[in-house]
Chain A
Amino acid sequence: MRNVGGAHRGLNMWLVQRASALIMALYLPGFLVYALVVGPLDFAAWHGLFVPLAVKVSSLLFIAALLVHAWIGLREIFIDYVHPMTIRLPLLFLFGTLYLGCLIWAADILWGVK
């Protein structure tokens, strides 16, 4: 049977983990500076941060990278500590579904900012 849950697809995952890390490493300091420049964040200012389309797009990209990164990281942990495939695969499915839902939710949150 094909090995569906093991550690033998390392290179692809390894590379995606670094690519997603890079996106986050660029976004986070950028957003921090952006927020600091805007100044004291009351509701109006905080809300206003997310109005520009470029901020919505880059924030959603960041969240997508975060979710992919989190899923691959959890997968690494499950490979080390959760050995029975009858538990590991449902866990991967559970978090994959949860995170996909989070991505759609995040899009709704961001595009809800008018």
Chain B
Amino acid sequence: MRKVFVAALREYRTTALTRSFFFGAVVFPIAIWGIMIAVAAFTKGERPPLTGSMAVVDPTPAGAIAEGIRARFDPQKLEAERQRRIKEIDAALDKSPVPLSPQQREIAKSQALAFFGLAKAWQVDVQTATPAEADAWREKVKTGAALALVEISEASVAVPPGAFQLFNTRKMDPDDLSAIREAATRSIVDERLRRASLDPVRVRDIMAAPPQAATATLTAEGVQKGGEALARILPFAFMFLLYLSAVIGGSYLLYSTLEEKSNRIMEVLLSAMSPTQLLAGKILGQGAVGLTVLIMYAGLGLLAARHFGVLHQIPLGALPWMLVFFLIAYAFQAALTAAVGSACAQITDAQALYAPVTMINILPFLVMVPVMENPGGLLPKVLTLTPVISPYVAIMRLGQPAHPVPLWELFAATLVGIAAVIAAVWLAAKIFRVGVLMYGKPPSILGLLKWASYR
């Protein structure tokens, strides 16, 4: 056992106590976050205005629908609308419960303007055309002389409606196209309102400002601020944290095994310890690396939750289970990874053999949506007891306090997980024992399984 710990300590020291780990696990994620903010900040700038002409074939005698579309793209009206929205957005941002930096305000504002379709200026000449002129306009659109042609018939205004036609050039930006479509749709709806003797402007104002709910959570400690956003992402966050730490630990194990193979040091090590001891030491050492990642990220998450006053929304009782399921998920991942690593001396060889492990790693993401949508349903219950995937599903369900997981299910998931780990480690130990001394062409997956049958 002493040798296992000596090997584990070396694995941990040479992985976690290095500059590359610090950059990979700490600096890199922070840098990514910074880059995302920077990219968002750079993209907030206004795009060049859209210029050109388009035509609307309008069935109404007064051309009210075409007028509605024209008004939508009227530069002056657009600018007025824009200023009005900016005021509204500013007012909303002032009321934010979370203090915002100037950059964050700018990003939020530009995203809100984009949402209202006001991020871009339009200098489009909207003309009204008769059905007879439609052919000529189609030709213009075809040659690129005009941007678009909207052909609306009386049937489009009826309820239930018939479709209206929107012809455009191939060069048109999808955002612009959807702006034209929305403008046409809104203008047709306005016409329907007018026919029902309602004032479209009034109706829109009523509909545009739905009442806001101030969500609060009643707890033993009193009324706590809270919302659905965190509750919605929590199961995913739990699962992703588990996945990330297990996969990071596993990938370091792959690299360290490949390094030992390519440096031809395996036999030197095997003169001092058995392959099983070496495998155990490696799994243990890199498990400690994965645990470091888990504790680091989970700790940062909890600190952030505390900072924003939403710590009460996190079911802290799930954290010990997180540890249990991490150990299971990691050990399974590590066993497979070590088996693959032992068979290869080059990362390029390992990639082909690693494909099945990658496929297994995708499983939690495939079942994520059904589990999150109906955590108490039959499928999540079955998946909780399905080997390989059980830790991920169990932790996702624990991330939804609204649907408590019966304790027996958690224990059963643990037992199923441990059984899967024992099977994987047994198989991996057999492959590892043969693989570490094999050089030359790496085997196929079937060949790898065959190694397990060697005496």
A and B are interacting partners: no
Which residues of B are interface residues toward A (Cβ below 8 A)? Answer: none
Which residues of A are interface residues toward B (Cβ below 8 A)? Answer: none
